[in-house]
């Protein structure tokens, strides 16, 4: 299961997402360059659920931004076989930060996501209502983002992303601010939606349990700067999974231990780096 860095399942079709030899650097104010990640090789097959774990600041969001087409990269990014130029229009992206329009209600925020596709307003609103109901916010349709809790805002954003039915889902700690119970519920909801039409998912999380219970594969990143993917674990737990049951299985614990063994040193290193200040 733990096998260094390799590519995804061998398939005939092109990968939904494919990064080859990708390096991402930021230019800082003093004109120096900060190399956030390097040598990134990863691919997500159509219908595959891949999670990324890694210490804070290692470059997880940066990789999602690259797949979304929001940052410039060195190397190769392909989406369903085609080189990515500009925005990735086939992906839906759930940002780590709050990204809802603060001047729109929950309902309007979700409904507006259908406007670019030319869906009539009334129909868009009906669909939005349905989606907000699915994420448990039927009673909060008319609230503005500032009147919602962090977790509620995340769920509105989730509905906003899913209502467009994108082929690829990029999710950056979507359940971060939720309590453990709701988090499990949302995870199960996501899994059931996903198993219905098998999108390709690239999912970032801090929570190892969540990473394992959702994924087909878990990728572990090293601490930054110049972070890499240092390990890949195939999660061979049977599907469909109910996250509460699956967490009791011995196999789950074995995977958890194995991944944590890879991650622990990196987390410590990230912490030490941060304490030591810039080198």
Partner 1 sequence: MSRLNLLLLQIAIAAAIILVWYIGSSVPIGGTCLLPKFFFSTPVDVLARIEKMFANASIWRHIYITLTETALAFFIGSGLGIVIGFWFARKPYVAAVLDPYVKAANALPRVVLAPIFVLWFGLGIWSKVALGVTLVFFIVFFNVYQGVKEVNPVILANARMLGMKDRQLMRHVYWPAALSWMFSSLHTAVGFALVGAVVGEYLGSAAGLGYLIQEAEGVFDVAGVFAGMIVLAIVVLVVDWLVTLLENRLLAWRPRAAERI
What does the binding site for partner 1 look like in residue numbers (CB under 8 A)?
Answer: 68, 70, 87-89, 91-93, 95, 97-105, 112-113, 115-117, 144-146, 157, 160, 164
Tell me whether residue 54 or residue 92 sits nearer to ligand ATP (CB atom).
54
CB of 23 to Mg ion, least distance (A): 18
Contacted by 122, from partner 1, Mg ion, ligand ATP, none: CB < 5 to 8 Å by type: none
Interface positions with ligand ATP (CB under 6 A)? 26, 28, 34, 36, 54, 56-62, 96, 224
Minimum Å gap between C-beta 34 and ligand ATP is 5
Q: CB-wise, 105 or 205, nearer to Mg ion?
A: 205
**Residues 87-146 close enough to bind Mg ion by CB under 5 A:** 96
Asked if 273 interacts with Mg ion (CB under 5 A), we say no
Q: How far apart are CA 134 and CA 115, in angstroms?
A: 20
Cα dist. 19→31, 48, 109, 255 in Å? 27, 15, 32, 25
Q: How far is the CB of 70 from ligand ATP (least distance, A)?
A: 10
Smallest distance, Å, CB 258 to Mg ion? 24
Q: Which residues bind Mg ion (CB under 5 A)?
A: 61, 96
């Amino acid at each position: 299961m733990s096998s260094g860095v390799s590519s995804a399942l061998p398939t005939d079709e092109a990968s939904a997402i494919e990064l080859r030899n990708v390096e991402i650097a930021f230019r800082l104010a003093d004109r120096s360059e900060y190399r956030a990640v390097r040598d990134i090789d990863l691919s997500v097959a159509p219908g595959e659920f891949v999670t990324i774990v890694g210490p804070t600041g290692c470059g997880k969001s940066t990789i999602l931004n690259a797949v979304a087409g929001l940052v410039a990269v060195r190397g190769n990014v392909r989406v369903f076989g085609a080189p990515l130029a500009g925005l990735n229009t086939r992906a839906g992206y759930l940002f780590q930060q709050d990204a809802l329009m603060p001047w729109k209600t929950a309902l309007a925020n979700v409904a507006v996501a259908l406007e670019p596709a030319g869906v009539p307003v009334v129909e868009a609103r009906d669909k939005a209502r349905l989606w907000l109901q699915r994420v448990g916010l039927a009673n909060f349709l008319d609230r503005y983002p500032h009147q919602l809790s962090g977790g509620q805002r995340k769920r509105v954003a989730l509905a906003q992303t899913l209502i467009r039915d994108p082929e690829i889902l990029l999710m950056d700690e979507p359940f971060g601010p939720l309590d453990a119970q709701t988090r499990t519920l949302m995870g199960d909801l996501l899994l059931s939606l996903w198993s219905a039409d098998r999108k390709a998912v690239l999912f970032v999380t801090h929570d190892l349990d969540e990473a394992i219970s959702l994924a087909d594969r878990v990728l572990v990143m090293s601490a930054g700067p110049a972070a890499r993917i240092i390990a890949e674990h195939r999660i061979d737990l049977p599907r469909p999974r109910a996250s509460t049951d699956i967490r009791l299985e011995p196999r789950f614990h074995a995977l958890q231990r194995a991944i944590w063994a890879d991650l622990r040193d990196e987390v410590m290193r990230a912490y030490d780096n941060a304490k030591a200040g810039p080198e």
